[in-house]
Amino acid sequence: MDELNAEKIDKHTDELEVESEEKQHGGKIEVDEDRLPSRAMAIHEHIRQDGEKELERDAMALLWSAIAAGLSMGASLLAKGIFHVQLEGVPGGFLIENLGYTFGFVIVIMARQQLFTENTVTAVLPVMQKPTWGNFGLLMRLWSVVLLGNIIGTGVAAWAFEYMPIFDEPTRDAFVKIGMDIMKNTPLEMFSNAIISGWIIATMVWMFPSAGAAKIVVIILMTWLIALADTTHIVVGTVEVLYLVFNGTQHWSDFFWPFALPTLAGNICGGTFIFALLSHAQIRNDMSNKRKAELKEKEKSQQNNVENPKKAD
């Protein structure tokens, strides 16, 4: 009975295993910069290693982490709304108000919670490195679960902001204004702005391996830029637009169009089809050269073994 259960566990584990050349040959991803052809490749491999771990995680663990991230993202609307009220009429208040946008990202990323737009680059690199149907299925599973969890969490946060007796009327009015600023965009503007924010988030993720202790500074600067540029983001924007829905200012259909679908497509396009593809493309030649060098070294070793069989023994 124990052997049968162990066999089932092993089978389940195999189903969730990312296909990669390292696993086929019983190795592991090399992330040591001194052993790789370039710094860019070291960063790429570091992120790909994290991506493989995310792709193999249990679905319920991903979902709960994504829900927590959605709730945490409510901090961005909360801080921005409070700053808007308190800094009204203050010179330069616009800069500090948009600094509030960074709060949710700092919480989510430093707490290692699942954020959909992070996974548009992290989890994509293992698929680009070995584009099999199995890996693609794991990516779709991860994206679906994390996006669902993020929307559930942001929905709960937006509902709480509207229906719980927490905020005064000026702050509630500020929440409405923030949401309405997003809804002024046309679907094409939603999509175009989301490409920029997807690109910035992907750039931020790419910087993490080199950031070290300055990681929180990188998060603040990059996400502050998203706010200052007035771009659209599928997770933060969901809190802001769903607040309008619960407030009665917007209909449910307005959430999906013109906001959610164009913004989601833009974030994926900016983070995956532009940044991740370009980042992967720049190190493909390094990867190819590394494999050639390894094969050459292996052939040389085999040749030495043939010429000196006693020494090999």
- Digit-coded pLDDT (tens) for 56-105: 899 999 999 999 999 999 999 999 999 999 998 888 888 999 999 999 99
The two most distant CA atoms of the chain are separated, in Å, by 87
Length, in residues, of the chain: 313
Enumerate the domain spans of the chain. 31-163+171-281
Q: Is the pLDDT of residue 179 over 90?
A: yes
Q: What is the pLDDT of residue 8?
A: 41
Q: What is the pLDDT of residue 292?
A: 47
Q: What is the pLDDT of residue 10?
A: 42
Q: What is the pLDDT of residue 210?
A: 84
Q: What is the pLDDT of residue 307?
A: 58
More confident residue, 273 or 150: 150
Using one digit for the tens of pLDDT, what is the confidence trace for 254-270?
999 999 999 999 999 98
Least reliable range by pLDDT among 16-25, 166-175, 251-260: 16-25
For the domain spanning 31-163+171-281, the CATH number is: 1.20.1080.10
Q: What is the pLDDT of residue 19?
A: 75
Q: Which H/E stretch holds residue 17?
A: none
Residues with Cβ < 8 Å from 312, sequence gap 6 or more?
A: 304, 305
**Which of 272, 271, 208, 287 lies closest to 29 in space, CA to CA?**
287
Tally of CA atoms within 13 A in the half-sphere of 233 that contains its CB? 33
Amino acid at 22: E
Q: What is the pLDDT of residue 35?
A: 59
The residue written with tokens 């998060």 in the block is 219
Q: What is the pLDDT of residue 126?
A: 86
Question: Structure tokens of 174?
Answer: 């500020």
Instruction: Tell me the DSSP string of 264-289.
Output: HHHHHIIIIIIIIHHHHHHHHHHHHH
Locate all alpha helices (DSSP H) within 16-132, ordered by sequence: 21-24, 39-55, 59-86, 93-99, 102-110, 124-129
The residue written with tokens 């992120």 in the block is 47
Using one digit for the tens of pLDDT, what is the confidence trace for 27-52?
566 555 555 556 667 777 778 888 88
Q: What is the pLDDT of residue 36?
A: 57
Measured between alpha carbons, how far is 236 from 179 in angstroms, rounded to an integer?
10
Question: Structure tokens of 194?
Answer: 């989301």
Average pLDDT over residues 184-195: 95
Tally of CA atoms within 13 A in the half-sphere of 6 that contains its CB? 3
Amino acid at 37: P
